[in-house]
Amino acid sequence: MRPADLSAHATGDIDIIAKAPAGILELDGKPIEAEEPFPDVFHTSVTAGPGEHTIAILWENGKQEIRFFVGKNPPEEFKAFQRHPPVPGVQCTQCHGLSRRGRFRFKGGCFDCHQKEKETFAEIHAHMEHTFVECGTCHNAHGSTAAKHLIYPREIMCKLCHN
Protein backbone atom coordinates (compact mmCIF):
# COMPACT_ATOMS: atom_id res chain seq x y z
CA MET A 1 0.00 0.00 0.00
CA ARG A 2 1.17 3.51 -0.70
CA PRO A 3 1.97 5.75 1.09
CA ALA A 4 4.22 3.90 3.51
CA ASP A 5 3.06 3.27 7.07
CA LEU A 6 4.20 5.97 9.50
CA SER A 7 5.17 8.31 6.66
CA ALA A 8 5.24 12.10 6.92
CA HIS A 9 4.13 14.38 4.07
CA ALA A 10 4.68 18.12 3.69
CA THR A 11 1.39 18.74 1.87
CA GLY A 12 -2.06 17.27 2.08
CA ASP A 13 -2.01 15.82 -1.47
CA ILE A 14 -1.64 12.08 -0.93
CA ASP A 15 -1.47 9.50 -3.72
CA ILE A 16 -3.01 6.21 -2.57
CA ILE A 17 -2.36 2.83 -4.17
CA ALA A 18 -3.70 -0.36 -2.62
CA LYS A 19 -4.32 -3.94 -3.70
CA ALA A 20 -6.98 -6.27 -2.32
CA PRO A 21 -9.69 -8.56 -3.67
CA ALA A 22 -12.82 -6.41 -4.13
CA GLY A 23 -11.38 -3.83 -1.74
CA ILE A 24 -12.94 -0.71 -0.32
CA LEU A 25 -10.71 2.25 0.58
CA GLU A 26 -11.27 4.43 3.63
CA LEU A 27 -9.61 7.62 4.82
CA ASP A 28 -10.05 8.20 8.54
CA GLY A 29 -12.91 5.68 8.62
CA LYS A 30 -14.86 7.22 5.71
CA PRO A 31 -15.14 5.52 2.29
CA ILE A 32 -13.28 7.19 -0.57
CA GLU A 33 -13.75 6.62 -4.28
CA ALA A 34 -10.89 5.18 -6.29
CA GLU A 35 -10.25 4.10 -9.85
CA GLU A 36 -9.41 0.46 -10.52
CA PRO A 37 -6.71 0.54 -13.25
CA PHE A 38 -6.22 -3.24 -12.88
CA PRO A 39 -8.34 -5.92 -11.23
CA ASP A 40 -8.23 -5.50 -7.43
CA VAL A 41 -5.78 -2.56 -7.66
CA PHE A 42 -7.08 0.79 -6.43
CA HIS A 43 -5.67 4.26 -7.05
CA THR A 44 -6.79 7.71 -5.95
CA SER A 45 -5.46 11.01 -4.68
CA VAL A 46 -6.84 12.78 -1.65
CA THR A 47 -6.18 16.03 0.12
CA ALA A 48 -5.77 15.51 3.84
CA GLY A 49 -5.60 18.32 6.38
CA PRO A 50 -2.69 18.74 8.77
CA GLY A 51 -2.29 16.03 11.39
CA GLU A 52 -2.37 12.26 11.67
CA HIS A 53 -4.56 10.17 9.34
CA THR A 54 -5.38 6.52 8.65
CA ILE A 55 -5.89 4.84 5.29
CA ALA A 56 -7.47 1.40 5.27
CA ILE A 57 -8.33 -1.07 2.57
CA LEU A 58 -10.98 -3.56 3.55
CA TRP A 59 -12.02 -6.76 1.83
CA GLU A 60 -13.99 -9.83 2.85
CA ASN A 61 -12.27 -11.25 5.95
CA GLY A 62 -9.37 -8.79 5.74
CA LYS A 63 -8.07 -5.30 6.38
CA GLN A 64 -4.79 -3.46 5.92
CA GLU A 65 -4.22 -0.12 7.55
CA ILE A 66 -1.48 2.51 7.51
CA ARG A 67 -1.00 5.76 9.40
CA PHE A 68 0.50 8.90 7.92
CA PHE A 69 1.06 12.50 9.00
CA VAL A 70 0.58 15.71 7.01
CA GLY A 71 2.24 19.00 7.88
CA LYS A 72 5.19 20.41 9.73
CA ASN A 73 6.75 18.88 12.84
CA PRO A 74 5.51 15.29 12.59
CA PRO A 75 5.74 13.10 15.69
CA GLU A 76 9.06 11.25 16.01
CA GLU A 77 7.72 7.87 14.78
CA PHE A 78 6.76 9.38 11.38
CA LYS A 79 9.53 9.54 8.77
CA ALA A 80 9.64 11.71 5.63
CA PHE A 81 8.15 9.99 2.57
CA GLN A 82 10.11 10.23 -0.69
CA ARG A 83 7.68 9.74 -3.56
CA HIS A 84 8.69 7.84 -6.67
CA PRO A 85 8.44 8.53 -9.49
CA PRO A 86 9.07 12.20 -8.82
CA VAL A 87 7.65 13.22 -12.20
CA PRO A 88 3.86 13.68 -12.35
CA GLY A 89 1.99 12.05 -15.20
CA VAL A 90 3.58 8.59 -15.11
CA GLN A 91 0.75 6.13 -15.67
CA CYS A 92 0.36 2.76 -13.90
CA THR A 93 0.64 1.01 -17.26
CA GLN A 94 4.20 2.28 -17.76
CA CYS A 95 5.42 -0.20 -15.15
CA HIS A 96 2.50 -2.60 -14.67
CA GLY A 97 0.35 -4.81 -16.86
CA LEU A 98 -1.70 -7.97 -16.86
CA SER A 99 -0.28 -11.44 -17.30
CA ARG A 100 -1.76 -13.81 -19.88
CA ARG A 101 -3.95 -15.13 -17.06
CA GLY A 102 -5.22 -11.62 -16.29
CA ARG A 103 -3.24 -11.14 -13.10
CA PHE A 104 -1.73 -7.79 -12.13
CA ARG A 105 2.05 -7.82 -12.46
CA PHE A 106 5.16 -5.68 -12.64
CA LYS A 107 6.42 -5.51 -16.23
CA GLY A 108 9.98 -4.58 -15.31
CA GLY A 109 11.76 -1.85 -17.16
CA CYS A 110 13.27 0.07 -14.24
CA PHE A 111 16.38 0.57 -16.33
CA ASP A 112 14.30 2.21 -19.07
CA CYS A 113 14.38 5.34 -16.89
CA HIS A 114 17.37 4.52 -14.68
CA GLN A 115 20.12 4.06 -17.26
CA LYS A 116 22.79 5.61 -15.01
CA GLU A 117 21.97 3.09 -12.27
CA LYS A 118 22.30 0.22 -14.75
CA GLU A 119 25.83 1.38 -15.60
CA THR A 120 26.81 1.60 -11.93
CA PHE A 121 24.69 -1.32 -10.64
CA ALA A 122 27.69 -3.46 -9.63
CA GLU A 123 29.32 -0.51 -7.82
CA ILE A 124 26.17 0.28 -5.81
CA HIS A 125 24.83 -3.22 -5.12
CA ALA A 126 26.46 -6.13 -3.32
CA HIS A 127 24.87 -8.60 -5.78
CA MET A 128 24.89 -8.85 -9.55
CA GLU A 129 21.78 -7.76 -11.43
CA HIS A 130 20.68 -11.32 -12.28
CA THR A 131 20.56 -12.24 -8.56
CA PHE A 132 17.33 -10.29 -8.12
CA VAL A 133 14.08 -11.29 -9.79
CA GLU A 134 13.20 -7.60 -9.99
CA CYS A 135 14.16 -4.31 -8.37
CA GLY A 136 11.06 -4.60 -6.15
CA THR A 137 12.83 -7.27 -4.13
CA CYS A 138 14.53 -4.43 -2.25
CA HIS A 139 13.04 -1.17 -3.55
CA ASN A 140 9.52 0.19 -3.31
CA ALA A 141 8.87 1.75 -6.69
CA HIS A 142 6.00 3.81 -5.28
CA GLY A 143 8.10 5.53 -2.63
CA SER A 144 9.54 4.92 0.79
CA THR A 145 10.62 6.44 4.08
CA ALA A 146 14.03 4.76 3.69
CA ALA A 147 16.92 6.04 1.54
CA LYS A 148 17.04 4.98 -2.13
CA HIS A 149 13.38 3.90 -1.92
CA LEU A 150 14.41 0.75 -0.04
CA ILE A 151 11.54 -1.19 1.47
CA TYR A 152 13.46 -1.14 4.77
CA PRO A 153 16.67 0.64 5.80
CA ARG A 154 19.75 -1.14 4.35
CA GLU A 155 20.86 -2.61 7.68
CA ILE A 156 17.47 -4.37 7.94
CA MET A 157 17.07 -5.11 4.22
CA CYS A 158 20.27 -7.17 3.93
CA LYS A 159 19.43 -9.20 7.05
CA LEU A 160 16.20 -10.43 5.46
CA CYS A 161 18.27 -12.83 3.34
CA HIS A 162 21.58 -12.86 5.24
CA ASN A 163 21.90 -13.81 8.92
Maximum CA extent, the chain: 47
State the pLDDT at residue 157: 76
Rounded to whole angstroms, how far apart are CA atoms 15 and 132? 28
Question: Residue 126: is it exposed, middle or buried by C-beta count within 10 angstroms (0-12/13-18/19+)?
Answer: exposed
Tens digit of pLDDT per residue, the chain (163 long)? 889 899 999 987 888 989 999 999 999 999 999 999 888 999 999 999 999 999 999 999 999 999 999 999 999 999 999 887 656 667 777 778 888 887 777 777 777 777 666 666 666 676 665 656 567 777 777 788 877 777 777 778 778 777 7
